[in-house]
Structure 1
Amino acid sequence: MGARLGGRATLVQFSSAFCAPCRATRRILAEVAGMVPGVTHVEIDAEAHLELVRRLDIVRTPTVLVLDADGREVRRAAGQPRTADVIAALGEAVGVRSGAS
């Protein structure tokens, strides 16, 4: 994707310009990434990266992918997430990493 992954997990958000839920999702993900050390939030403009959108089968915005430290997709959700769900998904991403060691 061309972005640096977080040391523990990465929140990847696919957005589009006129998507109101995308703005709210951006705020939620940035807030969570700021609270959890080693977590990065990356926002991707779906319209500008259509090949990636097709390859990852992104069908609506916002779509959020939760990646573990190795960049593997752990969880995916479409629509505006709740903060608690994002935190739970991060726990899963970090758990996958620590469970593998």
Structure 2
Amino acid sequence: MRAQDEDGRLGPAELGAGLGERATLVQFSTAFCAPCRATRRVLADVAALVPGVVHVEIDAEARLTLVRALDIRRTPTVLVLDADGRIVRRAAGQPRRADVLAALGEAL
């Protein structure tokens, strides 16, 4: 499995879910990660608030090939993708809602 297509984009094949019409918030999580649960709530809230944005959560332990290919080193890690699936921002750790909204500004 390739981590990205030839143009450096992530798509449904890599993510296991469709891209948002305007942007996609991709969260890499693990089962016993407490900050991952809080991150899930923040990203789901933002996705519900901003039209055309979707939140995709990926179990890092189940998708080790993708994790290695994208150099994900800790959970939670969040990638912000533009409408074409290009990574425009990435951050490790639990994000604040305001930071997620600011990062989305770069993707929209």
Q: Normalising TM by the smaller chain, what interval?
A: over 0.9
What percent identity do the matched residue pairs reach?
Answer: 82
1:74 lines up with 2:92 in the alignment: no
Q: Output aligned runs, 1:1-101, within 5 Å.
A: 1-94=15-108
Considering only aligned residues, what root-mean-square deviation do their CA atoms show, in Å? 0.4
Q: Scaled by the length of structure 2, what TM-score is found?
A: 0.86
- 1:21 Cα deviation from its structure 2 partner: 0.1
In structure 2, runs of 5+ residues without a counterpart are 1-14
* SS class of match (2:85): coil
Q: Scaled by the length of structure 1, what TM-score is found?
A: 0.92
How far, CA to CA, are the matches of 2:36 and 2:84 in structure 1?
Answer: 25
How far, CA to CA, are the matches of 2:81 and 2:102 in structure 1?
Answer: 13
Aligned letter for 2:31?
A: A
How far, CA to CA, are the matches of 2:47 and 2:81 in structure 1?
Answer: 13
- Runs of 4+ in structure 1 off by over 3 angstroms are none
- 1:2 Cα deviation from its structure 2 partner: 2.1
In structure 1, runs of 5+ residues without a counterpart are 95-101
How far, CA to CA, are the matches of 1:84 and 1:13 in structure 2?
Answer: 17
In proportion to residue count, which structure has more helix?
A: 1
